[in-house]
């Protein structure tokens, strides 16, 4: 039997336990050997994870030390990064280093003298803030961006900021999150029509107006999966009692596992992605993972006009884009009236961003360097 060919011999990539566009899955299965470094949020767990794959099969998972202290957090991250780089990357074989944070690129020129490394910077955020620390962080990002062989951007908005114009070359181009949709499940009855909101709860997301809509339209239901600050949760509970919504709103005030979330989504019809559209909101520069997650769960989406994913929602007809939460009720009713058409649009959206094809095309220039 012929030996399987891989797009990459060896990849050192960064990923997340949160929604991250199936980066780990893609590079683990398209590389002969892959190391995936999972860095957890500073205020979360006290360890990070290192996973090693060979020919698509997980060989080991090791916890490495982290810290909630801001200085130790980044120091330990960097020390572990260097340790794993020297262990994993051989002296005579090229390794792709794919990261999204400046820490990954500290000492890049030095390590390229020790190993045949190819660095690629996949920039996933931009913070439009005048705060001196944020401005310094953005300058450091730009410094390394200008010195790597390959740079990719999660949105055209970031692409524009980093280059002064949106560029689309093999080595520098916008690459959004890829997707891998869950199989279609039987469609639940359209009455009651169920809405799903997933994510951290904060003021300005239009939940109050959504409750008003539910108060006046008894044929609708709502599931809210996420964590809410105590004072805000209390105010939402008061509104739910006042409007008589306790039987029609599921709000456990906690995050669910992927399996639990999918189970809830199977009984829902539409996903809600409501954002504060203020110019200071970094979501203007993001590819919101929440939107892609809804689509993977086969749900049309209603989102505020804030991200470069908006043109794709409109292009494929897989949801409604609104200018503000005051338009939410009308958007919900438009989707319900022509639900089958919106579901077909979700399929077109998912096909376009299918990660196995989308990433292969997006990263073609890197893959060609191995041939």
At 227-239, the pLDDT tens digits run: 888 899 999 999 9
Encode pLDDT of 33-89 as tens digits.
Answer: 999 999 988 876 789 999 999 999 999 999 999 998 999 999 999 999 999 999 999
Mean pLDDT (the chain) is 92
Q: Which residue has the higher pLDDT, 251 or 46?
A: 251
pLDDT of residue 2: 57
Encode pLDDT of 136-190 as tens digits.
Answer: 999 999 999 999 999 999 999 999 999 999 999 999 999 999 999 999 888 888 8
Q: Which residue has the higher pLDDT, 37 or 258?
A: 37
CA distance 59 to 56: 9
Please say if the pLDDT value at position 271 is more than 70. yes
Please say if the pLDDT value at position 131 is more than 90. no
CATH homologous superfamily, domain 8-179+355-368: Glycogen Phosphorylase B; (3.40.50.2000)
CATH architecture of 193-352: 3-Layer(aba) Sandwich (3.40)
Q: String of b and e for 197-232 (b: at least 16 CB within 10 Å)? A: bbbebeeebbbebbbebbbeeeebbbbbbbebeeee
CA distance 23 to 15: 6
pLDDT of residue 282: 83
One fold for 8-179+355-368 and 193-352: yes
Contact 220, 192 (CB under 8 A): yes
Domain ranges of the chain: 8-179+355-368, 193-352
CA-to-CA separations, 239 to 174, 236, 247, in angstroms, rounded? 42, 5, 13
Encode pLDDT of 336-353 as tens digits.
Answer: 999 999 999 999 999 999
| Average pLDDT for 98-112 | 97
pLDDT of residue 371: 60
pLDDT of residue 1: 52
């Amino acid at each position: 039997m012929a030996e399987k060919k891989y797009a990459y011999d060896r990849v050192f990539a960064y990923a997340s336990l949160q929604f991250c566009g199936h980066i780990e899955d893609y590079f683990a299965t398209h590389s002969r050997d892959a190391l995936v470094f999972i860095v957890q949020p500073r205020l979360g767990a006290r360890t990070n994870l290192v996973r090693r794959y060979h020919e698509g099969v997980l060989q080991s998972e090791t916890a490495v030390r982290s810290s909630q202290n801001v200085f130790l957090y980044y120091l330990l991250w960097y020390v572990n990064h260097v340790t794993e780089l020297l262990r994993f990357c051989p002296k005579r074989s090229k390794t792709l280093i794919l990261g999204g944070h400046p820490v990954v690129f500290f000492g890049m020129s030095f390590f390229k003298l020790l190993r045949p490394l190819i660095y690629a910077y996949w920039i996933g955020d931009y913070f439009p803030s005048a705060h001196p620390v944020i401005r310094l962080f953005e300058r450091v990002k730009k410094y390394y961006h200008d010195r790597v062989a390959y740079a990719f951007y999660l949105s055209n908005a970031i692409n524009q900021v980093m280059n002064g114009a949106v560029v689309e070359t093999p080595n520098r181009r916008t690459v959004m999150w890829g997707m891998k949709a869950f199989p279609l499940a039987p469609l639940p009855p359209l009455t009651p029509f169920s809405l799903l909101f997933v994510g951290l709860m904060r003021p300005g997301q239009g939940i109050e107006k959504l409750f008003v809509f539910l108060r006046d339209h008894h044929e609708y239901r709502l599931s809210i999966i996420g964590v809410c600050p105590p004072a805000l949760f209390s105010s939402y509970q008061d509104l739910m009692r006042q409007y008589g919504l306790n039987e029609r709103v599921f709000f456990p005030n906690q995050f669910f596992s992927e399996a639990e979330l999918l189970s809830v989504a199977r009984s829902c019809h539409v996903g809600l992605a409501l954002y504060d559209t203020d110019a200071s909101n970094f979501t203007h520069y993001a590819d919101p993972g929440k939107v892609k997650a809804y689509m993977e769960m086969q749900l049309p989406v209603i989102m505020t006009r804030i991200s470069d994913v908006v043109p794709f929602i409109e292009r494929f007809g897989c949801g409604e884009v609104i200018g503000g939460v005051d338009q939410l009720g009308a958007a919900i009713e438009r989707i319900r009236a022509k639900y089958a058409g919106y579901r077909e649009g979700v399929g077109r959206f998912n096909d376009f961003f299918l990660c196995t094809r989308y990433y292969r095309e997006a990263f073609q220039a890197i893959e060609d360097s191995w041939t």
